A and B are shown apart, each in its own frame.
Chain A
Amino acid sequence: MNLQAKRTVISILAMGALTSLVAGCGTTTGTSNNASSNGSSNASSSNSTASTANNASASTTSASSNQTLVLYSAQGYDQAMADAFTKATGIKVKLDDSSTGPIVAKIEGEKSNPHWDVAWFDGDSTMQALDNQGLLLQNWSPSDFGNYNSLGQSLVPSDKAYFPGGVTAAAAIGVNTKLVSPSQYPKDWSDLLSPQWKGQVAMNDPAVSGPTFPFVAGMMQLKGTQGGEQFFTQLKGNGLKIFRTNGVTLKALLNGQVKAIMIQDSALTSAKAKGDPIQIIYPSSGVFTLPDVVAIDKNAPDMAAAKKFVEFVLSHQGQKVMLDPKQGGGDSYFNPVITGETPDPQRQQSGIKWITVSPTKAAQDQSQIQSWFHNNIVQ
């Protein structure tokens, strides 16, 4: 019995060792600090505009700040933005850089006890779905809200639960100029249904690729649910190929597997800017807006830092970081929604008919559209 008791004690000690050992390995990271920063937050938020505007003085204040922003983001420029934000405000950023799907999953998994302050990804319908669950901070206006141009303002929901940082087209048509002569270029989506394009068109899987769902939902909005379903069914009948995401689909276009693809226009612009043989066509019936959207957690552990970050995204200083392809890669080829900002010269501006996709409707129909597409088009 004595022996038994001793062994029990030893094994309990071992359990203790487990916790301390594993905890010890990551003491530098720690947990996200909740309450501690809330007290100081009010004071710092009031002078946030000053600190973001004044670049030079910002670095001197950085040492004194003990705020930490937890940013869940799927943007190419998020690391650069996090660095610039820390430099400007002194607020440390813990960046969780992932794809949109995993981010949304994580937010939903944490919904009763959130650990994030700001979420940022492409697709307002996905963000709207989070808003519908009451997870986002509503009715707060960033101090630089007035910076928005009219397109920008039109993309802000009435409850101000999220804010667009820029806009791309959920899809445009890209053709391989080595394989298709200018006279054969399609002019509208429906041109791709002709026998000329049989087996030569590809797009992404909306269940995997972030920007593809808004494209599919937009088509349903443009042509009506029945018309939209008919369009994709006909495309499939004409040999439509489905790949996983922009990268694979682009590769298929460039190595001649297909002659035309329908993907996010910033990815096409980025490839074209690199010198790939691509012509971008904005179909005459219109392309669908795909804003990147940034939102604050309703129960953000560090609300003040979160608000500052959103203001930083809408500021000229922040936009400059986002618009630099050296910092943001393909994601930097977006259309600004802030007055006075100019897009990268590689982006076509004229002759684009924008169709604003209703995020509310798309969010509402999301699971129905997704499963229809998967069961009827992908399979």
Chain B
Amino acid sequence: MFNNHALRKIREWLGAAPSLLIFLILILYPVLALLVQTFLPHMFDVHMSLKPSLAPIREVFANPLNFIAVLNSLELGLAAAVVATVFGTICAFGSVRAGRLWRIIIDTGVWIVFFAPSYVIAQGWLGLMQDGGIAAELFHLPNGWSAWFFTKYGLAVTMGLRYIPFVYFAMTQAIVNIGTEFEQAGRLLGASRRLLFRRITLPLMTPALLAGASLAFAEGFGDFGFAAAITPSTHIPMITYQIYALLDQAPVDYPGAAGLSLLMIIVMGAAFWLQMSWVKRRSYSTVSSHSRVKVTHEPHRFSPAVLGALVILVVALVLPLGSTVLDSLLKSSATGVGPGNWTLHHYHQVMNLGNSGVGSLRRTFVYAVITGLLTMVFGLYLAFQMMFKKTVAIRIINTIMIATIAIPGIVLAAGFIFAYNAVWLIPVHLVIYGTPLCLGMAYLAGTLPFSIRLQLGAMNQMSPNLTTAAASLGAKQGTILRRVVLPLVRGTAVSTFFMALTGTMFELPASSLLYPAGYPPFPEVIQQKFNAFEYARGSALTILGMAIVFAMYAIGRLLEWRLSKGSTTSKGETAPEPVMQSRTESVTVG
């Protein structure tokens, strides 16, 4: 009996071994390599010393700049979450209540905001709002006109606009899932619209709202793109930028960065934990399993919510990206926007830059496609393991893996330096730091937890009855995976591919800290251009990269549409639909 039990335990752990190995190589070892310096600051010195010290932790709180940075990030994260919640909710209502065409427009807009890398958006805002920037030239504004923008308030609003999708995805799904029965019942009983909203709609939506808001907070707190682009001009220190500064400016302070990183992981972990628990609560408070999820009420032609959503998207998307486009097309930013000042010259230039232009784009595209594919495959595999094999080992890995979403890219990248350049790897010839393999692994480490989470989300929404039914009818695990699960999560899988693809195309921290000498990846080159004040070239490169990503995305949607056309006959839905809700409808309908 005992023997059997032990054997089963061993088998469980063996089954979990691949997941454990992936997790260990990609995340645990690199993160530990950085964080251990919080307590053993001399571990990676030339003369290694294991003398423990708490100085780095003390420094986090003793250094006033660190302290201000932490406070600012908390404040900005909260403020941005509030802004994102308000705007994201308006957009969600706009989308659900809109007619078909407007829904497609709003949905696509939100997706572009979601996919647009935050430092591209931030650079766009900077180019638009700074003295002598695009706005100043268009409207002949005097210097100092935008001083109000380069404050915490301006930053909070622009960051909030960036995080709309996180609230939007949660909310559209919630609104759709609420269905109409409760509202109709309320209406039958004579409740006013306002009462209906306050007593029925809002309470039902609250978990989704809170989930979206905490995700937006975590994004804001951990956002490096905005910090890198805007913090230096606003002199508002933020935690991500402070970590970057400790890592990337002379004098370098790795233990200090490790201390701040630890703090950051704790705060972000708490935010994600809150989000997860709210998502869980929603799963029994809404009525999705029995309600009719298809929106039955006639869409309003053009309600105020639709108008609001469109206005918000214009501000969130058209302004920053439009300014990047203008920057890339104007002959000289000092000569105004008049006719005859348009040129494709900058595009020609970056195409001819070789290694630091189109060469880097090609290189990064290869990285991105491979990372996308591996993220999709590994994500599916790991999510499947976690979903359907509830052993203790798997559950532990599951929890930790999901928790790694809380680890910011800059922390992970810094960890990779130490982990894969460590002296103990020399005798076994495993020093992969400085090679494309190391950079590729860092990209994968950054995208994999998100992929697992999305795929888990999709699998969670699948009725367990389906797999139970299949199993009781005698289907083996492999068959269930192939015939039941895969077809239902296909949309999500494709989406994670594109998420990883865009993520890698514009990933900044790992790209700048880990690239092989002489072969800079695309994001690093863009960053260099902006740092060298070649705004036009930097913008041209950005636009080229975005064009490729959108082209890939369009191809993907087409593929997905073709696939779904082939398998399901009833719906023929072609509008871009969020991953989070993607296949649930057909599940419940089917």
Contacts and interface: CB of A to CB of B under 8 A. Distances in A.
A25 B251 CA distance: 35
A150 interface: no
A217 B532 CA distance: 24
B15 interface: yes
A105 B248 contact: yes
Interface stretch (A6-14, A167-175, A180-188, A219-227): A6-14
B18 A18 contact: no
Given A94-B518, A99-B531, A242 B235 contact: yes
Interface string B423-458: 100100001111111001100100000000000000
Contacts of A156: none
A104 interface: yes
B520 interface: yes
Given A8-B15, A22-B437, A106-B513, A112 B45 contact: yes
Interface in A66-119: 70-72, 93-102, 104-106, 108-113, 115-116
Contacts of A179: none
Contacts of A94: 516-519
Given A25-B367, A98-B528, A251-B132, A8 B65 contact: no
A104 B421 contact: no
Interface residues of A, number: 72
A31 B434 contact: yes
Contact of B517 (A113, A116, A242, A370): A116
Interface in B296-351: 334
Contact of A371 (B65, B432, B436): B65
Main secondary structure of the interface of B (DSSP, over half): helix
B378 A14 contact: yes
Given A1-B11, A113-B423, A129 B250 contact: yes
Contact of A23 (B17, B423, B436): B436
A22 B441 contact: yes
A158 interface: no
Given A14-B377, A115-B517, A247-B533, A371 B433 contact: no
Interface stretch (A139-147, A252-260, A288-296): A252-260
B63 A115 contact: no
B149 interface: no
Contact of A115 (B366, B434, B476): B434
B46 A252 contact: no
A115 B433 contact: yes
A205 B14 contact: no
A247 B417 contact: no
Contacts of A56: none
B169 interface: no
A19 B519 CA distance: 19
B254 A108 contact: yes
A238 B515 CA distance: 44
B246 to A, nearest CB: 9
Contact of A208 (B131, B232, B444): B232
Interface in A342-379: 366-367, 370-371, 374-375, 378-379
A97 B528 contact: yes
A99 B558 CA distance: 42
Interface in B1-52: 11, 14-15, 17-19, 21-22, 44-46, 48
Given A111-B46, A112-B423, A25 B533 contact: no
Given A12-B21, A248-B533, 20 more contacts: A3-B476, A22-B441, A22-B444, A23-B435, A26-B363, A26-B437, A26-B440, A95-B517, A98-B512, A101-B249, A109-B513, A111-B44, A112-B46, A112-B422, A115-B421, A205-B232, A243-B233, A245-B533, A255-B334, A257-B132
Q: Which 5 A-B pairs have the closest CB atoms?
A: A26-B436, A94-B518, A11-B18, A247-B533, A22-B440
Interface of A: 1, 3-4, 7-8, 11-12, 14-15, 18-19, 21-23, 25-26, 29-32, 70-72, 93-102, 104-106, 108-113, 115-116, 126, 129, 133-134, 205, 207-208, 213, 242-245, 247-248, 251-252, 254-257, 366-367, 370-371, 374-375, 378-379
Interface of B: 11, 14-15, 17-19, 21-22, 44-46, 48, 63-65, 68, 131-132, 143-144, 232-233, 235, 245, 247-252, 254, 334, 356, 363, 366-367, 370, 373-374, 377-378, 381, 414, 417-418, 421-423, 426, 431-437, 440-441, 444, 476-478, 512-513, 515-520, 528, 531-533
27 contacts: A3-B477, A4-B14, A15-B21, A19-B437, A22-B374, A25-B370, A25-B436, A26-B435, A26-B437, A26-B440, A29-B519, A31-B432, A31-B435, A31-B516, A95-B517, A96-B518, A99-B531, A105-B247, A108-B254, A109-B418, A111-B45, A115-B517, A129-B250, A213-B250, A251-B131, A371-B63, A371-B65
